[in-house]
Structure 1
């Protein structure tokens, strides 16, 4: 009975600090050792008090980081569930698995569970997935949309419920949002500068889904690096619909010596198509990708590319969402970009015609 009274004394003392405003949302609580000295009780007593406060939603306990005050306005109806809606073209793409892994890892640190819903490229299926998760009373959404412009009405379903959501990898440039992705612009600058360093001046940019802001940002980075090097940039530099016969002829005429593809998927397709037309890589043309797929190094000609860390993007997305759920950030217009790096392999070489 005495131990029960001790842990309740600790619990009510912390609750009083929260209710009176002495402790605010997001504040970190003192560590267990400090509370043991303050209340002259054992560590077991402190842990029991903190566990009950966490179970009742007043605080959030994060492994290796400590305990933090939760938002009292939202704790009553919290489900501690987060939905990840993936509108994906290829369910077997390892990059999606890495995003999921990162998001799950971060969610678990905040005692949240992640529910994954696949909706391919169909807006109606995406909408049904969102409604299904709304019916489960999830606390927030991570959304990897196929086309964030066309998905606006689906996003409005979430906004009407005043539930936070974070877009992953792609967003609508004209619509404020929480977003987690990679630094597309700077990654493209790195790639283009490397091709220029290899004495390539006739470099084209090949798009895959150019309606996406991620590809447009990569193209902007390519253009920036080209202009900085004093190289011309015009509409002919951008390839959005590739005629591979014409492309092969341009390469054989040395009108194109390097191709920067907006992602590895396109780069792999380009390499295959050119190989079938007798074009040698990198002897006739250098190829650069973006993403660093798991199999990029295992191709017949290993692909040079820009590496983005997909698991880190998942971690950033879940962290951003949970901070929005807890009321630590507001306004719906925060973007977190993960870093990128250059990975040079066999598909690029110095321009032999320079």
Structure 2
């Protein structure tokens, strides 16, 4: 059994203790602790066994100062608790963990210049190597919002006005899939329940829905604006159910589609017999709605993985990228859509 001196017990085991236990130099222990490759396998295993034996744990802060990296990523996130934000953040955290890194979160509520700058300052104090920004509101693209310099940055879901890599779902493609699916079934036009006006995703889905109808030479109904909640879909659904000319609705997310379908059922309009409904997200519960929901599947996992990959490339290259990565979508056809009656 290894015996440590009283001084070692007070201060905790050191590299010198490990070196004595393994019978190697302190420089060799340092190489192993810092992940260097110029140590043969047998010696590395002996040093690692000695670390376990004496209870030595490398000091990550000190190692960061030596290596110039903290192995930690910051994330500035919108405090708006939406399904998409939650899933994207979870995907980012999983991708960060898979790289053996840690993540520090900083939520913001209004996305103003002072809030964003304050978030950057706080994360800088937490010693992060780079920052991922996930802010849904359009304020990030307003002229007064300038991202502070000095750290690698990747933005999720924003416009490309800022000189940083941008990663997002191909929102326009997904909305076109949804709208064309309903037109191809034979519906004269498609109504739309949009997300909130300040949302990047909502604005892009609405713009693509409108452009798809215009390209097809179809009438564009007035937009109904929701707030991503099932309740907002339900309230708009009560109005739509009163109009017999409404036969197809594209809701900008699955939760609003759920509320819409409840309202239609309550008003005696069957889905899809009277009204076909398409959502967006393909949340896990969508396959268990009644009827199961036709929807646009987006890969939050791919968005998170691409964002982390882009940020790590900036960190490794010590350079600022400007690439725009759009993750493709997929239309998942279930039982909530059909050809119009008659």
Aligned to 1:193: 180
2:165 aligns with 178
Q: Unpaired runs of 5+ in structure 2? A: 1-18, 48-57, 227-234
Unaligned runs of 5+ in 1: 12-28, 36-40, 59-73
Q: Deviations over 1:223-253 (max 9, x none)?
A: 443344x33254x353336755542222x2x
Distance 1:315 1:45 in 2: 35
1:267 aligns with 2:260: no
Alignment of 1:169-248 (within 5 A): 170-172=157-159, 174-228=161-215, 230-234=216-220, 236-240=221-225, 244-248=237-241
Deviations 1:163-205 (A, max 9, x none): 122222x214544432222111111222222112211122122
- Determine if contact 2:189/2:213 at 8 Å carries over to the other structure: no
Secondary structure in 2 matching 1:289 = strand
Q: What's the counterpart of residue 80 of structure 2? A: 89
Measured against aligned partners, the alpha-carbon deviations of 1:108-150 in whole angstroms (never above 9, x if no partner) come to 3443211234445675776655443222122222222131425
Decide whether aligned partners of structure 1 residues 171 and 48 sit closer, same or farther in structure 2, where only a CA change above 3 A counts: farther
CA distance in 2, matches of 1:151, 1:217: 14
Partner in structure 1 of residue 303 of structure 2: 313
Pairwise CA distance, 1:311 = 1.7
State whether residues 73 and 131 of structure 2, in contact with CA within 8 Å, keep that contact through their aligned partners in structure 1: yes
CA distance in 2 between counterparts of 1:177 and 1:233 reads 38
Normalization by structure 1: what TM-score? 0.69
User: Match of 1:291?
Assistant: 281
Distance in 1 separating the partners of 2:117 and 2:260: 34
Q: What do the CA deviations read for 1:48-95 (whole angstroms, capped 9, x no partner)?
A: 99xx9x99989xxxxxxxxxxxxxxx975432211223314337x4x5
Q: Distance in 2 between matches of 1:121 and 1:303?
A: 33
Structure 1 contact 98–314 (Cα < 8 Å) conserved: no
Give TM-score scaled by structure 2 length. Answer: 0.71
**Is contact 1:126–1:154 with CA below 8 Å preserved after alignment?**
no
Query: Does the C-alpha gap of structure 1 residues 152 and 340 become closer, same or farther in structure 2, counting only changes over 3 Å?
Result: same
Contact 2:257 2:279 in 1 (8 A): yes
CA–CA separation in structure 2 for the residues paired with 1:141 and 1:262: 29
2:91 corresponds to: 102
Q: What is aligned with 2:52?
A: none
Report Cα offsets for 1:280-318 as digits up to 9, x if no partner.
221211111111112212223322100011122111111
Whether 2:326 is the aligned partner of 1:337: answer: yes
Distance 2:240 2:160 in 1: 31
**Matched positions, count:** 303
What do you get for the CA RMSD once the two structures are aligned? 4.1
Preserved CA contact (<8 Å) 1:188 1:222: yes
